[in-house]
Amino acid sequence: MLTERQRMILNVIIDDYIRSAEPIGSRSISKRSDVSFSPATIRNEMADLEELGFLEQPHTSAGRIPSIKGYRYYVDHLVRLSEVNDQDVQKVRSFFTEKMNQMEQIIQHAASILSNLTNYTSIVLGPETFTNSLKHFQLVPISEDAAVAIIVTNTGHVENRTISIPADMSMDEMQQAVNILNTKLIGVPLARLKSKLYTEVGQELGRYAEQCEKLLGVLDEALKSEDDHRVFLSGATNMLTQPEFKDVDKVKTVLDLLDETPTIMQMFSSLPSGIAVRIGTENTHEAINNCSLITATYSAHGHQLGTIGILGPTRMDYAKVISLLDLLSKDMAVLLSRWYK
Amino acid sequence: MLTERQRMILNVIIDDYIRSAEPIGSRSISKRSDVSFSPATIRNEMADLEELGFLEQPHTSAGRIPSIKGYRYYVDHLVRLSEVNDQDVQKVRSFFTEKMNQMEQIIQHAASILSNLTNYTSIVLGPETFTNSLKHFQLVPISEDAAVAIIVTNTGHVENRTISIPADMSMDEMQQAVNILNTKLIGVPLARLKSKLYTEVGQELGRYAEQCEKLLGVLDEALKSEDDHRVFLSGATNMLTQPEFKDVDKVKTVLDLLDETPTIMQMFSSLPSGIAVRIGTENTHEAINNCSLITATYSAHGHQLGTIGILGPTRMDYAKVISLLDLLSKDMAVLLSRWYK
DNA sequence: CGTTAGCACTCGTTATCGATGAGTGCTAAT
DNA sequence: ATTAGCACTCATCGATAACGAGTGCTAACG
């Protein structure tokens, strides 16, 4: 529905605006070497594009800026996904060579790289653990009435909680209960631990029932609080460098949002697999209605594990961010596959 | 060296300025019910106080604001440490009643409470672990060539790392090495693990030497990276609400500093025990030269464990923050003593 | 008919100027 | 020693004007 020339002009306007953050006038477009029309012609086209909803005018005597619809069209039809800058590839690759044998470390590092290379804010959602299965369960006594409960999953994820031991129970008894749980529950997905316990293991435990209840409580809690540890942020303060956030109040609502792990979890929970772009008001959370969120899911061995995302102003370098996310999500998959074979 | 009246006036100016964030004029002081002097008298005293270095004038026709030296005198001699607001005590107490059986959780929660009650940024440094001693060391295999190494300390602190197992080594052999380490090293402070191993356990390990090397490497790494996990922040965005930080650039340098865990560790490493107040340029880091940092150490059973701190503008409610830190540091000591008996 | 030069017009930005008023320092009277 | 009085300073605010970037429209051009 847009003519070739209109598409070209829209493309140029968005590219220029992404770089300059200032409204683009007809004259500056006309002066470009790849454009051979006079300002007047450009103006006519721009007026049409505005009528169609792809451009906006901050005020009468200013140039045009892209609207949400304009960005959307750009992302869907115009953007040329450049190869990632060689230098940037280099940095990502060197990320590979560093040996990191902690999954958390890899993920946090990936977030750092993303925010460094883009100067936006990166958000990475780590793998969920409740689909993992129990590999090992253990109690380590640390005093007369306290012990550390340790849970290891098949992916090597470790959760631990300090629990206090009831006075009327010996350490031996406790240990026995743990042994029973271990023999019966290894291999069971964490999400089904509790139900599994009640239906199949309940009777065997006999007098340990009460203690098992307690242990299960610990397990349960471990799974809940783990949400907090799935979200990795980096470069939140990059928001402050964006000219659209020179107003302190605006940036505060965004930064406050980033502090709320549950909200981020919710934002990321409903994303499709692959690359997704949410522009401005397409985001349901009002605080980021003048931001764009670009996300890419990563997976290993066919299992979708988590999501990496970049949050920046709507005036974002979509081409760069998309290709970078694409690159990194694939690389992460390779790195993480080690834990998921 | 200051007359009683000068002290009174300085006190009033700082109290008012802390509340209003605007230069205080002689007239507004004179109008207070507890002051019975004319503006002219106040002005004379203010001129003297300025000459002595306790006050400053932003410009000729403005009121006075406290200088660093003024704040320092206020903190050292004038501030009346009010009891903590009942409502606030209530909140801190309710923090007690919630049962939290994870030390991290308690510390993070303490940070949240601090920032909520003060509207400043809170920084909490958790207990260091390298003075803890080894309680338990274990390998949990998670695949053919990978295992999770788990370290439990006497305080119930758990560190874990994923390690890959060399192809030329059976799981059994590995396990035996672990067993030897366990019998020999339990009770040894983490800081001395490595040297202890080489001097005393070395020869016994025989052919496992190489593997032990590797395991020790894991331990070593665990102790290093643990620094990152000692710093707990809350309310960093509160900085944005302070009128002295309406300028985005200023606030960015502060927020960037807060993102650098090592810098914070360094800031907190050289603090005396008890309450400490660092005002403005008394802070060595330039980024917070117009901030004040108030810290309080907390301890259990005589052992100093960590530090809780509040970072805000120099125009900070010192009375409130100091008494709150005092309260909370003692309460935390009680809560945490459980892990350190 | 598409394109473009020309031109009047809009409107945000910036600078200037004066009025305002809060606050000071100084002096002289109390 | 205290204070009333007063001249002075200077940030803030509003109005006004100059400026200029950019537009929309019209008419001319190929």
Angle, helices A4-20 vs A39-51, to 10°: value is: 90
Instruction: Residue A240: list chain B partners with CB under 8 A.
Output: 248-249, 251-252, 255
Across the A:B interface, residue pairs with CB atoms under 8 Å apart total 101
Return the residue matching tokens 């049962």: B99
Q: Which nucleotide's C1' atom has the smallest distance to the CA of B43? A: C24
Q: Looking at the domain assignment, is residue A128 inside a domain?
A: no
What are the tens digits of pLDDT across the range A220-241? 776 676 778 899 999 999 999 9
Q: How far is the CA of B40 from the C1' of C28 (A)?
A: 13
Q: Are B82 and B320 within 8 A, CB to CB? A: yes
Same domain, A307 and A246: yes
A248: nearest CB among B143, B248, B338: B248
Which residue has its C-alpha nearest to nucleotide D23's C1'? Answer: A61
Same domain, A253 and A222: no
Q: Looking at the domain assignment, is residue B292 inside a domain?
A: yes
Q: Which of B186, B205, B226 is the last residue of a domain?
A: B226
Same domain, A8 and A58: yes
The answer to whether the Cβ–Cβ distance between B339 and A237 falls below 8 Å is no
User: Which residues 11-70 of chain A have a CB under 7 Å from nucleic chain D?
Assistant: 23-28, 39-40, 43, 46-47, 50, 57, 60-64
Residue B161, C-beta contacts closer than 8 angstroms, at least 6 positions apart: A101, A102, B148, B149, B218, B221, B222
Same domain, B244 and B333: yes
Q: Are B322 and B117 within 8 A, CB to CB? A: no
In angstroms, how far is CA A35 from the centroid of its own chain?
39
Given a cut of 90, whether residue A118 has pLDDT beyond it is: yes
B158: nearest CB among A148, A155, A341: A148
Half-sphere exposure of B79 (CA within 13 A, CB side): 21
Strands (E), chain B: 55-56, 65-66, 121-125, 134-141, 146-153, 158-164, 231-234, 275-279, 291-300, 303-313
Return the residue matching tokens 């009683």: B4
Q: Which of A99, A100, A101, A164 to mutate to test the interface with B (most CBs of B within 10 A)?
A: A101
Q: Looking at the domain assignment, is residue B249 inside a domain?
A: yes
Element (H, E) at A307: strand A303-313
Same domain, B288 and B323: yes
User: What is the distance in angstroms between the CA of the first residue and the CA of the last residue of chain B?
Assistant: 48
Same domain, A320 and A175: no
Q: Which of A12, A47, A78 is the last residue of a domain?
A: A78
Q: How many domains does chain B have?
A: 3
Phi-psi region of A102 (alpha: psi -120 to 50; beta: other; left: phi over 0): beta
Q: Looking at the domain assignment, is residue A129 inside a domain?
A: no
What are the tens digits of pLDDT across the range A31-89? 999 999 999 999 999 999 999 999 999 999 999 999 999 999 999 999 999 889 999 99
Q: Which of B207, B226, B245 is the last residue of a domain?
A: B226
Each residue's pLDDT, cut to its tens digit, for chain B (341 residues) gives 899 999 999 999 999 999 999 999 999 999 999 999 999 999 999 999 999 999 999 999 999 999 999 999 999 999 999 889 999 999 999 987 777 778 888 999 999 999 999 999 999 999 988 888 999 999 999 888 888 999 999 999 998 888 887 777 777 877 887 888 888 889 988 888 777 777 766 666 555 666 667 667 766 776 666 778 899 999 999 999 999 999 999 999 999 999 999 999 999 988 999 999 999 999 999 999 999 999 999 999 888 999 999 999 999 999 999 999 999 999 999 988 888 87
Phi-psi region of A124 (alpha: psi -120 to 50; beta: other; left: phi over 0): beta
A341: nearest CB among B143, B162, B341: B143
Nearest CA in chain A to B258: A237
Nearest CA in chain A to B255: A237
Q: Looking at the domain assignment, is residue A274 inside a domain?
A: yes
Q: How far is the CA of A26 from the C1' of D16 (A)?
A: 31
Q: Which of B129, B138, B143, B227 to mutate to test the interface with A (most CBs of A within 10 A)?
A: B143
Q: Looking at the domain assignment, is residue B127 inside a domain?
A: no
Q: Looking at the domain assignment, is residue B129 inside a domain?
A: no
Nearest CA in chain B to A159: B158
Same domain, A261 and A199: no
Q: Please give the residue range of the domain that contains residue A154.
A: 134-227
What are the tens digits of pLDDT across the range A149-184? 999 999 999 988 888 877 777 777 778 878 888 888
- The mean of the pLDDT values for chain A is 90
Q: Looking at the domain assignment, is residue B128 inside a domain?
A: no
A142: nearest CB among B102, B154, B236: B154
Same domain, A50 and A194: no
Same domain, A145 and A216: yes
Across A8-15, average pLDDT: 97
- CATH number where B47 lies: 1.10.10.10
Instruction: Residue A163: list chain B partners with CB under 8 A.
Output: 101
Same domain, A116 and A240: yes
Same domain, A27 and A170: no
Contacts 24+ apart (CB under 8 A), A52-59: A52/A2, A54/A2, A54/A10, A55/A10, A55/A13, A57/A23, A58/A23
Task: Provide the 10 A C-beta neighbour count for residue B179.
Answer: 13
Taking an 8 Å Cβ-Cβ cutoff, which residues of chain B contact chain A? 101-103, 105, 135-136, 138, 140, 142-143, 146-148, 150, 152, 154-156, 158, 160-164, 218, 225, 236-237, 240-241, 245-246, 248-249, 251-252, 255-256, 259, 338-339, 341
Q: How far is the CA of A1 from the C1' of C13 (A)?
A: 38
Question: Which structure tokens are listed for A120?
Answer: 């936006």
Taking an 8 Å Cβ-Cβ cutoff, which residues of chain A contact chain B? 101-103, 105, 135-136, 138, 140, 142-143, 146-148, 150, 152, 154-156, 158, 160-164, 218, 221, 225, 236-237, 240-241, 245-246, 248-249, 251-252, 255-256, 259, 338-339, 341
Task: Provide the 10 A C-beta neighbour count for residue B248.
Answer: 18
The answer to whether the Cβ–Cβ distance between B248 and A240 falls below 8 Å is yes
Same domain, B254 and B110: yes
Nearest CA in chain A to B137: A140
Q: Which nucleotide's C1' atom has the smallest distance to the CA of A25? A: D22
The answer to whether the Cβ–Cβ distance between A156 and B150 falls below 8 Å is no
- CATH number where B204 lies: 3.30.390
